[in-house]
Structure 1
Amino acid sequence: MSTTNVEKKSAEGISEEFKKATNYELTDHDIERANKILNIDLAARDQEQIGTANIDNIRSFAYACGSDNPLFCDPDYAAGTRWGSVIAPSMMAGIINRPLLGDPPTAEYKANTKSLFRGIHVFISGGEWTFYRPIFPGDTLYSFGGEDGIEVTPSEFAGRKVTRFHTDVKVNQRGEVVSTYRYRSILTERKTAREKGKYAAIEPAKYTDEDIAKIDAVYAQEEARGAQKRYWSDVQVGEAMTPGASGPLTVTDVVNFHGAGYGWVPYGLRSGRLWHKNRNRIAPFYVKDANGIPDVAQRLHWDSAWAQAIGNPMAYDYGVMRENYLFRYLTDWAGDDGWVVRQYDEIRKFNYMGDTQFISGEVVGKREENGRKLVDLKVTMTNQRGEETVRCEATVALPDHDGVLLLPEPSDDLKRRAAKMMARHWELLAQKRRG
């Protein structure tokens, strides 16, 4: 199909409702307001689908990320590891949350966030995770944090763009900092992106049986290292990691990821009466489809007509899905006794329906820090078109032949902030229970 035909097809799939919903613009006023809400810790009051980890939802999440690592999925096997139990893939912290009680935001904060960047297309372009403690079955997670940076730059894709930085701090019921996640949100004007049509010429991937066989061959050599210990002193700088793969991406993958607990807050994917109530709560989030049915703007991840309305040729994944595939790759390499300390990733291109990601990595450094034995890794995702879609830098802590593994420690400031937020939570909870 030629570029002209693709653009014509996209235009035909855009209803007047679509066009109306994509005419919002980035304004200087909103950018000024966004700068006024930086570095304010707020309690996350959201109740995620999962509030407390258990062996079943841990396994379900691992499966949704394409991992059958027995450390996450097999309680009998995991009981024999250094952890003594199944533990969750550390990134599962991103979808576990019980409401944290805290002081409400000020009137000024509310005024500066009301309808902020309304109607502007937002996507996550990666971020940086730091993992401090395992998540065990029975652990409940709470979180706090907020916006802590903003940048305004020209955009090849959409005129100009705003990049917002947000940090979430995840804390368990014992008051321990489990992890932090500082992610980047890219805001672009849907109308401008649609009119530029930068990606309109990209066509859906097609596969022969031979193509699928090549992908199967990569999957066949993938395996979690598991109980086969990887010692720090045996790792060599420059050595390659076993190749990996993810894909071809299908709507089924997105459905599985949602089914495991992702994507239900703050907007919500709701059915029936709850769909009705949610539309009344956040009407702008619902945009009529070609049949006149109000549906979530979020559907660009499975509805290609809506994705085309904002300048993409077809539906595409959530960036966090690829972050989890990277984490799976890292934990497979590290084995049961290794610990992923840090994962920094940049999502550089969309992963469209039908795309396959081929994963490669290498050891780029070794060091000792505060008694911890660390290995630095560089990992890349490349699609079937030969385009680099994700860059990742990671740090893994490994034991040496003495078997000692030291986990990272949060800073004193981070511990203080977490203790303050949790103390206020328990205080408010006690007041609530007294009536």
Structure 2
Amino acid sequence: MERIAQRFASWRPDVPWWRDCTRDAFEHYALGIGNANPLFQDEEYAANTRWGGLVAHPLFLDSFGRRAGQGGGGFPGVHATHASLFWTFYKPVTLGLRIQMKSCMWEHYLAPSRFAGRMLDVVRRHAWVDEDDGTMIANNWGLVKRWERDAARGRRDTASPHRDWRRHVYTDEELQDLWEAYDAIEVRGAEPRYYEDVAVGDKVGPYITMPYVGREIISYYMGTGAPFMMSNTNMYNYFKRHPGANVPDPDTQTPDVPERTHYDQQFARFAGFPDMFDVLQPRSGYGTTMVTNWMGDDAFLRELSMLGRRPVAYGDVCWIHGEITEKFQRGDENLVKIVMVYDSQKWRASWGHALVSLPSRERGPVVLPEPGIDPETEPYDKENPTPEYAKEILYQPEPDLPDAAFIKDEVGVR
């Protein structure tokens, strides 16, 4: 922990999957996350919107940082997973934009855990900067949880909250219900959603994911890259520089990487989980898709948060829905806050919020906010590194929204 603390507030550039904002990059991200909105991938369609051309899905920015060790450095036997995030957006990502992403660790502390006995919570910061004019595109607070694999594996079948987990077996009727739900998903598109036409209590969504299998995360990695997605000479050279990144198969000693908890059941169980499980970034991207489907082409996403409470594992579906809880004007912006929940057939997996700037019949089109301050220029407060507003969102309590899942398992904590 002392070694990690020496690197607090030490900003460094990240390694991008894409170096240029191109049509292919936008489209591949949208395909990887399963987004069908033409605003993000159809040039002819996007040319007729208020943006005058293609814009990227808001979380396309994730593809500009794929450096390994984002959890606080490599420690053999200590796993890491993203636990919560809080985005603020200042302008859309358009074709030709040149982006630099940079990040740093900010704070850490030990926390008790039913899953592994104890965990190390690592707070991170990320910033995306327009290389041409130096203005902020977006920034992000993130929380990563780290735990000892041996401790989690020892509790997996006794004390873990996932000890009774089992794979869902679908009936033909359940699958038919899912197909009908997918057909019912709507994209608002070119029809503006005006501030005057929405009210507190309005429902948003739902958006429903496909049952989770390894293909889902591999598709996502095709659009964003991933820290350990390399092979042959590149993989060998990486292992040579970072021997702790090599986590061999426990039975065969075949060299491999810790990232495979998301597509390899055997290794997921070795790490203390009941099965392969999803990643927070694409899960938050699905929630973002629900919001951008709802808000239409003329709106702008200002904030997004998500707390990952429990895994979405093999065969699980995620039902995402939300509700408008606040509506207010701030300067030139007409804002609505949407509280969202993510439910699987077993339990509530996540929750969070979105803040959306809508066009107004009375005040006109959306006005983009002033560019944010580069967080690298902020002083580091050793006594209270993470401000209270960020902590409140990273550890936000579960909202009181009804369960969205229409397929239920008896196993799990709902």
Q: Give the TM-score normalised by the residue count of structure 2.
A: 0.84
Q: Secondary structure at the match of 1:194?
A: helix
Pair 1:87 & 2:55 matched: yes
Q: Aligned letter for 1:362?
A: E
Pair 1:262 & 2:242 matched: no
1:47-58 alignment to 2 at 5 Å?
47-58=15-26
Query: How much has 1:368 moved relative to structure 2?
Result: 0.7
Q: Aligned letter for 2:247?
A: V
Pair 1:182 & 2:150 matched: no
Task: Give 1:395's aligned residue.
Answer: 355
1:78 to 17, 27, 46: 46
Pair 1:156 & 2:106 matched: no
1:288-367 alignment to 2 at 5 Å?
288-289=248-249, 290-367=251-328
1:57-136 alignment to 2 at 5 Å?
57-96=25-64, 117-136=75-94
Q: For the residues of structure 1 that align with 2:110 and 2:103, how far apart are their CA atoms?
A: 22
1:376 to 322, 331, 337: 337
Which of 1 and 2 has greater Rg? 1
Q: Secondary structure at the match of 1:260?
A: helix
Query: How much has 1:313 moved relative to structure 2?
Result: 1.3
Q: Secondary structure at the match of 1:294?
A: coil
- Could you list the runs of 5+ residues in structure 1 that have no partner in the other structure? 1-29, 100-112, 418-435
- Please say if residues 160 and 188 of structure 1, whose CA atoms lie closer than 8 Å, have aligned partners that are also in contact: yes
1:228-307 alignment to 2 at 5 Å?
228-263=191-226, 265=227, 268-289=228-249, 290-307=251-268
Query: How much has 1:414 moved relative to structure 2?
Result: 4.4
- Please say if residues 304 and 354 of structure 2, whose CA atoms lie closer than 8 Å, have aligned partners that are also in contact: yes
Flag the 1:114–1:397 CA change in 2: closer, same or farther, 3 A. Answer: closer
Query: How much has 1:184 moved relative to structure 2?
Result: 0.4
Flag the 1:281–1:37 CA change in 2: closer, same or farther, 3 A. Answer: closer
Q: Secondary structure at the match of 2:204?
A: coil
Q: For the residues of structure 1 that align with 2:283 and 2:289, how far apart are their CA atoms?
A: 10
- Please say if residues 146 and 168 of structure 1, whose CA atoms lie closer than 8 Å, have aligned partners that are also in contact: yes
Query: How much has 1:259 moved relative to structure 2?
Result: 1.1
Q: Secondary structure at the match of 2:193?
A: coil
Q: Secondary structure at the match of 2:203?
A: coil
CA deviation profile, 1:78-130 (whole Å, cap 9, x unmatched): 0000100100011111112599xxxxxxxxxxxxx996644311000121011
1:144 to 102, 113, 131: 102
Flag the 1:98–1:257 CA change in 2: closer, same or farther, 3 A. Answer: closer
Q: Aligned letter for 1:247?
A: M
Q: Secondary structure at the match of 1:182?
A: strand
Q: Aligned letter for 2:103?
A: G
Query: How much has 1:151 moved relative to structure 2?
Result: 2.6
Q: Secondary structure at the match of 1:82?
A: coil
CA deviation profile, 1:219-239 (whole Å, cap 9, x unmatched): 111121100110001101101
| Identity between Structure 1 and Structure 2 (%) | 27
Flag the 1:145–1:49 CA change in 2: closer, same or farther, 3 A. Answer: closer
Q: For the residues of structure 2 that align with 1:114 and 1:247, how far apart are their CA atoms?
A: 32
2:166 to 167, 192, 203: 203
Flag the 1:119–1:69 CA change in 2: closer, same or farther, 3 A. Answer: same
1:216-231 alignment to 2 at 5 Å?
216-231=179-194
Task: Give 1:33's aligned residue.
Answer: 3
Q: Secondary structure at the match of 1:63?
A: helix
- Please say if residues 185 and 207 of structure 2, whose CA atoms lie closer than 8 Å, have aligned partners that are also in contact: yes
Task: Give 2:12's aligned residue.
Answer: 43
1:405 to 348, 358, 366: 366
Flag the 1:149–1:230 CA change in 2: closer, same or farther, 3 A. Answer: same
CA deviation profile, 1:162-205 (whole Å, cap 9, x unmatched): 11111111012222211011110001111111101112321111
Flag the 1:59–1:154 CA change in 2: closer, same or farther, 3 A. Answer: same
Structure having the higher helix fraction is 1
Q: For the residues of structure 1 that align with 2:144 and 2:72, how far apart are their CA atoms?
A: 18
- Could you list the runs of 5+ residues in structure 2 that have no partner in the other structure? 379-414
Task: Give 2:386's aligned residue.
Answer: none
Task: Give 2:152's aligned residue.
Answer: 193
Q: For the residues of structure 2 that align with 1:118 and 1:97, how far apart are their CA atoms?
A: 23
Q: Give the TM-score normalised by the residue count of structure 1.
A: 0.81
CA deviation profile, 1:29-75 (whole Å, cap 9, x unmatched): x2x333343233x231x432211111111011112111110100100
Q: Secondary structure at the match of 2:343?
A: strand
- Please say if residues 153 and 272 of structure 2, whose CA atoms lie closer than 8 Å, have aligned partners that are also in contact: yes
- Please say if residues 126 and 320 of structure 1, whose CA atoms lie closer than 8 Å, have aligned partners that are also in contact: no
Q: Secondary structure at the match of 1:243?
A: strand
Q: Aligned letter for 1:73?
A: Q
Q: For the residues of structure 1 that align with 2:65 and 2:150, how far apart are their CA atoms?
A: 34
Q: Give the superposed CA RMSD.
A: 2.0
Q: Aligned letter for 1:366?
A: K
Q: For the residues of structure 2 that align with 1:118 and 1:161, how far apart are their CA atoms?
A: 15
Of the structure 1 ranges 169-178 and 400-409, higher mean CA displacement relative to structure 2 is found in 400-409
Q: Aligned letter for 2:243?
A: A
Q: For the residues of structure 2 that align with 1:158 and 1:313, how far apart are their CA atoms?
A: 13
Q: For the residues of structure 1 that align with 2:230 and 2:252, how far apart are their CA atoms?
A: 19
Q: Secondary structure at the match of 2:224?
A: coil
Q: Secondary structure at the match of 1:287?
A: coil
